[in-house]
Amino acid sequence: MMENNKNKTMEDFEMIYALKIANIKDNLTIKQLNESDFLAYNKEFLSKPIDDNFNIIKAFEGTERKYAQLELAIKNNTCIDETCQYENTQLSQMQKAPQVFLDFLQNLTDELSVTEDDNFDPNNDVVYTIANCILTSKPGFSKDQGYNIVLNLLEDGSQEMVFWGGQLPRALIINNTVLNTLLENDTFLITPTPDVPARMKTLLGEIGLFDKKMIDPKTKLLLNSAKLLEEFVLKNPDGTAMYEVVEIGNGMARNIVKYDLDKIQRKATPFLDADVAGLMTSEQGVIAAWNVYIAKGTSAEEDAEMVQGENAWGQSWGYQESLPLSPDKKEIFKQKYKEYFSKNYLYGFTENQLPYVEKDAAVFNMEELKKEQAQKYLDDNDLN
Q: pLDDT (tens digit, 9 = 90+) per residue, 235-254? A: 999 999 999 999 888 889 99
260 near 232, Cβ under 8 Å? yes
Confidence of residue 382 (pLDDT cuts 50, 70, 90): low
Angstrom distance (rounded) from CA 157 to CA 100: 9
Q: Is the pLDDT assigned to residue 44 strictly greater than 60? A: yes
pLDDT for the residue 306 = 47
Q: Is the pLDDT assigned to residue 275 strictly greater than 90? A: yes
Q: Is the pLDDT assigned to residue 205 strictly greater than 80? A: yes
pLDDT tens by residue, 324-351: 999 999 999 999 999 999 999 999 999 9
Angstrom distance (rounded) from CA 77 to CA 81: 9
Angstrom distance (rounded) from CA 168 to CA 295: 29
Between the alpha carbon of residue 44 and those of residues 39, 41, 361, 374, the distances in Å are 9, 9, 66, 80
pLDDT for the residue 381 = 66
pLDDT for the residue 38 = 72
pLDDT for the residue 14 = 75
Angstrom distance (rounded) from CA 111 to CA 183: 9
Angstrom distance (rounded) from CA 162 to CA 149: 6
Q: Is the pLDDT assigned to residue 21 strictly greater than 90? A: no
pLDDT for the residue 383 = 64
214 near 225, Cβ under 8 Å? yes
Give CA torsion, residues 167, 172, 176, 177, to 10 deg.
-160
The DSSP element (H or E) to which 162 belongs, if any, is strand 159-165
Q: Is the pLDDT assigned to residue 307 strictly greater than 50? A: no
Average pLDDT of the chain is 87
pLDDT for the residue 54 = 80
CB under 8 Å, gap of 24 or more: what pairs does 312-321 form?
A: 312/24, 312/121, 312/122, 312/123, 313/21, 313/24, 314/17, 316/20, 316/24, 316/123, 316/290, 316/291, 317/123, 317/287, 317/290, 317/291, 318/20, 318/123, 319/123, 319/124, 319/191, 319/284, 319/287
Helix 85-112 crosses helix 126-135 at what angle (to 10 degrees)? 100
Q: Supply φ then ψ for residue 166, to 5 degrees.
A: 60, -130
Above pLDDT 90, what percent of the chain? 60
pLDDT tens by residue, 169-203: 899 999 999 999 999 998 999 999 999 999 999 99
136-145, 155-164, 231-240: which has the minimum mean pLDDT? 136-145
3-state secondary structure of 218: coil
Domain boundaries defined on the chain: 2-184, 193-384
- Whether residue 355 has a cis bond before it, omega within 30° of 0: no
pLDDT for the residue 53 = 79
pLDDT for the residue 144 = 87
Confidence of residue 375 (pLDDT cuts 50, 70, 90): low
Beta bridge partners of 150: 162
- Beta strands 364-365 and 147-153 are unpaired
Above pLDDT 70, what percent of the chain? 86
pLDDT tens by residue, 69-111: 989 998 888 998 888 999 998 998 899 999 999 999 999 999 9
